Amino acid sequence: MKPTLLILAAGMGSRYGGLKQIDKIGPSGEAIIDYSIFDAIRAGFGKVVFVIRKELKQDFREFFGNKLDGKIEMEFVYQEIDNVPEGIEITIDRKKPWGTGHAILVAKDAINEPFAVINADDFYGADAYRAIAEYFNSNTNPNNHSMVGYQLGGTLSDFGTVSRGVCNTDENNFLHKIEEFTKIGIRNGDICFDDGTENWKPLTGTEIVSMNFWGFYPEMFQIFEKGFERFIKTAKDDPKAEYFIAWPLMDMMKNNKGRVKVLETNAQWFGVTYKEDKPIAIQKINNLVKAGNYPDNLWK
């Protein structure tokens, strides 16, 4: 059974200033999302599922048109604020969806096979998709999930702070803990994070972080669903509360319901958190095209 690629594309893009999920980066008008799908197809994926907001459906359909026809199956699911368990009433004036964990959960009826999860606006590198696909092919325990790890120093922006999940692993490279840092940046040439009190503390840059590239089995949906039911009861009145992917994973590992293998690859990550990141992303894509890693027109 071919795995599915689940792309989280419902973000608001407030720091970027626009719909960065389908902003044109490549030499023939490709978005980063195009390269993700292209790499997934080469790695043997059979379907792509987009998590978007309903108002973005027409934008996505116009952007993709029929260019994926005959190459990979495509499906859309919708992350909406009112997509919560029955009996929960949302009374707050909330603008954003409920976070990345909730985004995964809304795809549960569209996926029945092993699946990888990525962000729409992040470039992960072809080797990362191969690593996930090889893990699905070799692993025999559906309670052993996976993720691709990247060194923190290669995931920062020169134009502002970023949020990262810093991973702690055991001797067999299984995830032990994810610690969420919401403000990491470069200050006076050093990598630091704000501990919440505007007190900046140093990091080495070699820490392994999650860039939301996960390899899950369908059993994971039950874990996310139970965790969200607990989360929403207290978060429903908080306009900023987010259900992060790390939370249900931590519960899963704490209760011995499953594990997450951290995969090492040679892949290089880059993304477009801020508008100023776009020229750098364009140059990196052009360099990869010139090196022969990608054709100058992906879908020609």
pTM recorded for the entire structure = 0.90
For residue range 100-122, list pLDDT tens digits in order: 999 999 999 999 999 999 999 99
Phi (first) and psi of residue 114, to 5 degrees: -55, 145
Two structure tokens written together for 265: 């690859």
Q: State what percent of residues in the chain have pLDDT above 90.
A: 67
| Domain ranges across the chain | 4-147+211-290
CA dist., res. 127 & res. 61, Å (int): 28
CA dist., res. 269 & res. 191, Å (int): 17
Q: Which residues contact 273 (CB under 8 A, 6 or more apart)?
A: 15, 16, 121, 157, 159, 160, 162
Two structure tokens written together for 87: 């009996």
For residue range 15-62, list pLDDT tens digits in order: 544 577 889 999 999 999 999 999 999 999 999 999 999 888 898 999
Highest CATH level, class, for 4-147+211-290: alpha beta
How much is the pLDDT for 199?
A: 86
- Model confidence at 12, pLDDT cuts 50, 70, 90, reads low
CA dist., res. 28 & res. 31, Å (int): 9
Q: Which residues of 40-66 are buried (b: 16+ CB within 10 A; e: fewer)?
A: bbebebebbbbbbbeebeeebeebbee
Rg of the chain over all Cα atoms, to the nearest angstrom: 19
For residue range 169-214, list pLDDT tens digits in order: 999 999 998 888 889 999 888 999 998 788 899 999 999 999 999 9
How much is the pLDDT for 240?
A: 84
Name the residue among 120, 30, 25 with its Cα closest to residue 68: 30
